[in-house]
Chains A and B, each alone.
Chain A
Amino acid sequence: MRFKKLFQVLVLGGAVVGASSGCVPAANAQGKDKKPPPADAGTSSAGGGVKGW
């Protein structure tokens, strides 16, 4: 029950937020060929995740 509510509030709620503004520019219009912007401390070449609670 708790997880079902989380799905509704977070996932479905997020989709509503995302749809609340104008159209999304096509991905090939901007950004697709650019390099990622610099961060403070490098990049993990294989990728990684974000620690949380």
Chain B
Amino acid sequence: MTSARRVAAEAWGFRARVEEEAALRFDGLAATIAGFDGASPVPALMRRAAEDERRHAGLCAGLAESLGAPVRLGDGKWIRVAPEGLDARSAILYEVVAACCITETESMSVLTTLLEEEHAPGIREVLHAIARDEVVHSRMGWAHLAREAEAAEVGFLSHLIPVMLTGTVDDALFGPPPADEDGEGLLRLGVLPHRQKRESFVGTLEQVVFPGLERFGVDPAPARAWLAARTSAT
């Protein structure tokens, strides 16, 4: 197996698992948000998103298997990421911002970059199918944040965004690329090489996520400092 094929197989397997976990998270968040904001369109979108994510998990697992690394699904869990000490509604806001405003927005950026490239047969169709849905998955986070910003003080999130970012990305992203990386081969198999993944992550934070947070009353200064500490060291 080539280096690119092995790395891509692992990446698609990892994607299958995060898509499965996202489905469980969206099911749980939908039920909870509906309990305190009955007029919100977000719970219905999240229930639909959960179905999307289950479908995505199957698509990603299929590619992982075709690349030589079968992945077992069905034992995923919704692992809460909100810190202890937040009340229920604030904890849900934390979960939504971490999952949708940051992670789904970053995923959408990766997909957009990948769709500009040439791919091996079967890859492009999967990327397209997932990208079509991920737009809504990101939007529902911004929709929920916008609604909560009308009803409550959301500024408490400001110092928690670096915590979310630390849990979202591995520090290796800010280190050197793997010495034997086959960038062209990875792109053909639907995976961003190290340099492009880092550019996508940083650019999306600086130009999409941080301005978005600021727009809805969450000061992005601590998150900007978190990013500066990592990008200035490399």
A and B associate: yes
Asked whether B68 is an interface residue with its Cβ less than 8 Å from the other chain, the reply is no
8 closest residue pairs by CB, A with B: A14-B142, A49-B167, A27-B152, A22-B39, A47-B83, A18-B143, A48-B167, A49-B168
Q: Please report the number of residue pairs spanning A and B whose Cβ atoms sit closer than 8 angstroms.
A: 209
A45 contacts B83, CB within 8 Å? yes
Contacts known (A26-B151, A53-B106); A48 close to B135, Cβ less than 8 A: no
Q: How many residues of B contact A (CB 8 A)?
A: 80
**What is the bound-complex CA distance between A37 and B88, given in angstroms?**
7
Contact A20 B80, CB 8 Å, known A14-B138, A27-B151: no
The one of B32, B112, B160, B168 that contacts A52, using a Cβ cutoff of 8 Å: B168
Select A47's contact among B94, B105, B112, B169, beta carbons within 8 Å.
B94
| Interface residue SS majority, chain A | loop
Interface members, chain A 7-52 (any B CB < 8 Å): 7, 9-11, 13-15, 17-37, 39-52
Interface centre among B15, B24, B37, B163 (most CB of A within 10 A): B37
On chain A, which size bracket covers the interface? 35 or more
B123 interface contact, C-beta 8 A:
no
Q: With A18-B142, A24-B40, A50-B167 given, is the CB distance from A44 to B83 under 8 Å?
A: yes
Please indicate the chain B residues that have their CB under 8 angstroms from the CB of A53 in the complex: 15, 18, 106-107, 110-111
- Residues of chain B touching chain A, judged by Cβ–Cβ distance below 8 Å, are 14-15, 18, 22, 24-25, 28, 32, 35-42, 45, 77-84, 86-92, 94, 98-99, 102-113, 135, 138-148, 150-153, 160, 163-169, 203-204, 206-208, 211-212, 215-216
| 11 CB < 8 A contacts A-B | A3-B206, A13-B139, A14-B138, A18-B145, A32-B90, A37-B28, A39-B78, A43-B83, A47-B163, A50-B164, A53-B106
Contact of A49 with B81 at beta-carbon distance under 8 Å, contacts A10-B208, A33-B87, A36-B91 already known: yes
